Amino acid sequence: DLGNLGRADEKYSRLFSSNSYDRNNIGIDIGSLPDHPDELRHRIAQQKVLHPDFFVRPTDEWFRHYLHLSKSEERKIYSRLPNGIKSIQRLGRHRLHAWFTFFLSDATVGLDHHQLRKMIVSRPQLLSYKLSNVQITTNYFREELGLSSEELASLLQSYPSVLMYSVDTRLRPTVDFLQNECGGGKNNWASWKRVIYSYPNI
């Protein structure tokens, strides 16, 4: 309501008018602003843009800072992308932020920052994959196969490319074969589930 909007607006006005700010945090990033109505988000952005120390942090710099990448990790990522640093710049921070938020949220995947960084360094091509397709794949592992957060994290650490597989044409047929032809049906599913998250490349 208007009352809450006004109080939140006042809160963020104090934040950005404070003399105790960190200049590295003045750069604008709409994707990471709190979930408030658009009017407030626009006012927050306006206050930041008009701030005398405002600057726009390049996407590649924001990317490195967000993931706490070392120089060697950054070089590995860019060497594995078809257009190097330009690939990250073209993706843009809004899309990258949505991708990171999905994997870090306990409600979806639940990786920690170290696990997320390791996965991206290993397979940065995933960043160009549609998030909606990634959501379908992770939902399959969590809901249909019943993997826990820890099991899914283990799977993604060992073989992140599994996120690029089609559920209907690759994952589900393979699991059905293991379950029904090799594993003795649902009664032996617990054993096959451990095989799947431990050796997902099968």
- For tokens 């078809």, what's the residue? 82
Residue 88 has pLDDT above 70, yes or no: yes
pLDDT band at 81 (very low <50, low <70, confident <90, very high): very high
**Predicted local confidence at residue 127, as pLDDT:** 92
Helix, strand, or coil (residue 183): coil
Residue 24 has pLDDT above 60, yes or no: no
Q: Over range 23-31, report the average pLDDT.
A: 45
Q: Over range 182-202, report the average pLDDT.
A: 65
3-state secondary structure 74-113: HHHHHHCCCCCHHHHHHHCHHHHHHHHHHHHCCCCCCCCH
pLDDT, one tens digit per residue, over 114-132 is 999 999 999 999 999 899 9
> What's the pTM value of the predicted model, to 2 decimals?
0.66
Residue with the larger pLDDT of the pair 166 and 23: 166
Which residues make Cβ contacts (< 8 Å) with residue 89, sequence separation at least 6? Answer: 58, 59, 60
Residue with the larger pLDDT of the pair 190 and 175: 175
**Predicted local confidence at residue 151, as pLDDT:** 85
pLDDT band at 136 (very low <50, low <70, confident <90, very high): very high
Give the span between the Cα atoms of 53 and 87, in whole angstroms.
Answer: 28
**Predicted local confidence at residue 4, as pLDDT:** 45
Mean pLDDT of the chain: 76
The pair of structure tokens assigned to 57 is: 């942090």
pLDDT band at 191 (very low <50, low <70, confident <90, very high): low
pLDDT, one tens digit per residue, over 154-186 is 888 888 988 989 999 988 888 887 777 765 555
Residue with the larger pLDDT of the pair 23 and 40: 40
**Predicted local confidence at residue 155, as pLDDT:** 86
Residue 11 has pLDDT above 60, yes or no: no
Helix, strand, or coil (residue 165): coil
Residue 22 has pLDDT above 90, yes or no: no
